[in-house]
Amino acid sequence: MGMNVPQLRHALAEVAKITSDAWLNSLDDRKRKELEFHDRDRDRSRIEAMDHDTYERFYGNKKYYGATRRSKEYVADWITRNAPGKVFLDYACGNGASAIAAAKAGASLAIGLDISPVSVQNAAADAAAAGVGDTCVFIQADAENTKLPDNSVDLVMCNGMLHHLDLSYAFPELRRILAPRGRLLAVEALDYNPLIKLYRMLTPQMRTEWEKAHILSLKDIRFARRFFDIGDVRYWHITSIAGPHAKFMMPVFETVDAMLTRLPGARLLAWIFTFELLSNKARH
């Protein structure tokens, strides 16, 4: 188990006391750009005021997430099975959906941290609206230097955010804060499918420069082995990416994907892969 919850809440409160000036001064240029991008990207009032063409330019990729039902169900089930009674961290939490789901599933404490203050505000508001505001704590923090205590969290959810980080800092930091016998689930885009790579090149305004250059591949799993044991690795969404353009075909696409993602070569064409990282501290 992670550390005592009241002690951890106190540690989080100390992190939250860091002033805005001190916080900004601690960030390098790469991280400042990520903060600015995600503040803009998650500004709900800005999104609501957009016309259709502007929305498509900046958020047109969102429609493809309608094809991710099977991977979303897997992630939701992972949280529901593992979160009860645990200290859960939604790492680079965005609007905090995973932390809120963990709190609803019975986590003893659900933490969300993000570099973007707009994201933190959204997450806190959504948790309160969902009735789990007392179980959730959201803070602005640097994912590569969280300032959380050692061995303080049991479960970590990394949902589409590792490619925003320098893994040579993020993986050691995650290992440091993960309790013995703790586990982490990552959901990431996979950097092999040539058509998806072309789409990313043609829509640069949807991503930061760092993000475009750091989509994950299996070499990142090999690198993770330096810090963790590797658990379940799964591959998702090859033909079903076309689903938003042919919704009536989704059952067929999902059936085909279920077969293709079992084949060692074909599964590398997947849009998304998930992998578990397991603490190996208990052995050392």
Domains of the chain, each with CATH number or no CATH? 5-283 (3.40.50.150)
Reported as a single tens digit per residue, the pLDDT across 173-228 is 999 999 999 999 999 999 999 999 988 888 888 888 888 889 999 999 999 999 99
Look at residue 3 in the predicted model and tell me its pLDDT. Answer: 67
Look at residue 284 in the predicted model and tell me its pLDDT. Answer: 46
Joined together, the tokens standing for residue 84 give: 């009860």
pTM confidence score:
0.93
Q: Closest Cα to residue 193, out of 260, 252, 244, 277?
A: 260
Sequence letter at residue 226: R
Distance between CA atoms of residues 57 and 60, nearest Å: 6
Joined together, the tokens standing for residue 275 give: 């992998």
Reported as a single tens digit per residue, the pLDDT across 140-157 is 999 999 999 999 999 999
Sequence letter at residue 108: S
- What is the Cα Rg of the chain in Å? 19
Ranges of the chain with pLDDT below 70 = 1-3, 60, 282-284
Look at residue 29 in the predicted model and tell me its pLDDT. Answer: 93
Q: Closest Cα to residue 188, out of 246, 132, 236?
A: 236
